[in-house]
Structures are given as C-alpha cells and as structure tokens.
Amino acid sequence: MKCLVINLDRSRDRLAHMTAEFASLGVQFERVAAIDAQDRPDLARMPLRVKRKSSLRLADAEIACLLSHKACWAIIAAGDDAYGAVFEDDIVFSAKAGALLADTGWIPVDADIVKLETFFKKTTIARKYVSAGCGFSVSRLHRIHIGTAGYIVSRQAAHDLIGATEDIGIPVDHVVFNPRLATSSSKTIYQLVPALCVQDQFLGDKAIGLPSLLKSERSDQWAAIGMVKRHKKTGANKIRTEVKRIVEQIFDICRLRQETIIPFDYRGERVRPPHTQRRENAL
C-alpha cells in the first residue's frame, strides 16, 4: 500500500517533519506536490457549480486542497494496490502506526475508506469493533467526522471520488466524511480506534508548531465579509435541533451505535481533547 504525503513546495520544514515521522515507523512514503493557492490566481475565478448551504465561497486554499487530494486519488486509482493511504503534512503518528501501514490484511474486505485520524469532535460509530492488531480496532463510521489529514481509500473508491468531484464546491473533508452527501453516504467507511494519527495543532503543549493553513485563510475570509460572529439560534431552531438530537440518539441505540470522541495515544499518553483542556484550565 502506497503512503502518499501532500506537501507544498515551500513547506520544506513540514516535509522534513514527515520524513522523520515515517522514518520512526520504518515505512516509506511518496511525496505528492500540493497545489499551491499562492501560485494559482485562477482558483479565485474557478466556477463552483455545486450548491452549498453556506453563502461563503470556498477559499482558494480549500480548492487547492481538494485538487491536491484528487491528485492522490488519481495515483491510487491508476495503481495496482487495492488500497492507498493519504496524509497531509501536519500530522503526528501513534508509535504503533508502522505495523498497520506496512500491511493491509487488517482492513475489512468491504471497506471503501478507513479514517485514520481524529478531530476530537463527537461522532457516531458502531458498537461492534473488529480488531486490527497492535491495540487498534475498526468500527463502522455513521456520522460526520471531518478532517482528511489521514485516511485509507480503496482503488475503486478513489476512482469514484474523482468522478464525483468534477464540479468543485464542497471542502474535501466533507466530500469524504460527511454522510449527508452522496459522495460519502454511498461508501462503506470505517474509523480506526484509537486514531493512528492526529494533526499537530491538537497536541496542546506537546505540539511542535504546525498550524492549520486552511483555518487561517478561512478566518481571513470570514473577517473580510463581516461574518466572524456566529448567528444566534432562535428559540424554534433550538427546539428543532434538540428534538433532532434526541431522535438520532434513539435511532443510534436501536441500531447499536454509540456517540463518542475518537481517542489518540501519543508517546504512551492519551491525548486529551482540546475543549477538555480549556475547561480544566478555567477551573
């Protein structure tokens, strides 16, 4: 299984970081040159034909990110391996990641995609776990769990994702991991538990300093059009949201599903979710 790392030509520090990460695992990787929004002024003029609920146009960096992932999908779709792994260059690995990246025998035979990272947000997975070895398990992913910093995709699913994104308009992490969209709901997706990797930005005081480039550009766009503050929900909207949440909980219980935050172990310690850290610091 090829391990592909998306990396901007100007981000040599991140390439050095990923080289060290893979070397520590004893696993080879292939660098894929990322599309750089700074070098592509045409991205701002690219027609986005997909209808979205948000009034915000995709940031140029988001478009470039999707195109970069498509370049990886093309490599996997054209290859001989049944699966390929895709990583962004700001992640850190669990110490036991090497064994799972060196062998695909643990991947469920019906898997189209396996999410390897955690975003430390609540999601819903099946209560049934299947051992993947080395202390990891896989479970079906049934709710949105954004982030495409680390995932495995089958050759056929890679081919399907390329065809499904001919029209640009949805961020890549929603394309792959938002079951409200056909691109995701049509796939059999598993979550690795605990996560195999996590973005450096979530490591708190253990982070080495690799901030999200997408987040900073999106924040600039929000500020430019005066949308930094969130709109408050009306009473009716709050009631609808709560009713929907309760219905989903009942549905999940009946379908043997559970809501959880996917954990991550780093250097022998369980990483605490950022919002938990903030709450404890406030006490």
pLDDT recorded at residue 283: 31
Q: How confident is the model at residue 5 (pLDDT cuts 50, 70, 90)?
A: very high
Residue 221 has pLDDT above 50, yes or no: no
- Which is nearest to 152 in space by CA: 185, 180, 200, 117? 117
* pLDDT value, residue 277: 45
**Mean pLDDT, the chain, integer:** 86
Q: Are 252 and 180 in contact (CB under 8 A)?
A: no
Question: Which pLDDT band holds residue 24 (cuts at 50, 70, 90)?
Answer: very high
Q: How far apart are CA 157 and CA 163, in angstroms?
A: 10
Question: Percent of the chain, pLDDT > 90?
Answer: 66
pLDDT bracket for residue 212 (50, 70, 90): confident
Model pTM?
0.85
Q: What angle do CA 174, 176, 181 make, to 5 degrees?
A: 60
Question: pLDDT-derived band of residue 229, with 50, 70 and 90 as boundaries?
Answer: very low
CB atoms within 10 A of CB 141: 25
Domain boundaries in the chain?
A: 2-231+258-282
In this predicted structure, the answer to whether residue 236 has a pLDDT above a threshold of 70 is no
Q: Give the bridge partners for 269, in sequence order.
A: 266
Q: Which CATH number fits domain 2-231+258-282: 3.50.50, 1.10.3470, 3.90.550, 1.10.287?
A: 3.90.550
- Token pair, residue 231, equals 């709109």
**How confident is the model at residue 181, as a pLDDT?**
92
pLDDT digit string, tens, across residues 94-136 = 999 999 999 999 999 999 999 999 999 999 999 999 999 999 9
Residue-level pLDDT at 26 = 97
Q: Name the residue with tokens 């398990």.
A: 137
- The more confidently predicted of residues 234 and 191 is 191
**Chain segment 50-97, per-residue pLDDT in tens:** 766 666 678 899 999 999 999 999 999 999 999 999 999 999 999 999
- Neighbouring CB atoms inside 10 A of 162's CB total 16
Higher pLDDT, 269 or 215: 269
**Residue 168 banded pLDDT, cuts 50, 70, 90:** confident
Residue 19, pLDDT > 90, answer yes
Distances (CA, A) of 230 to 26, 184, 223, 226, 235: 45, 27, 12, 10, 15
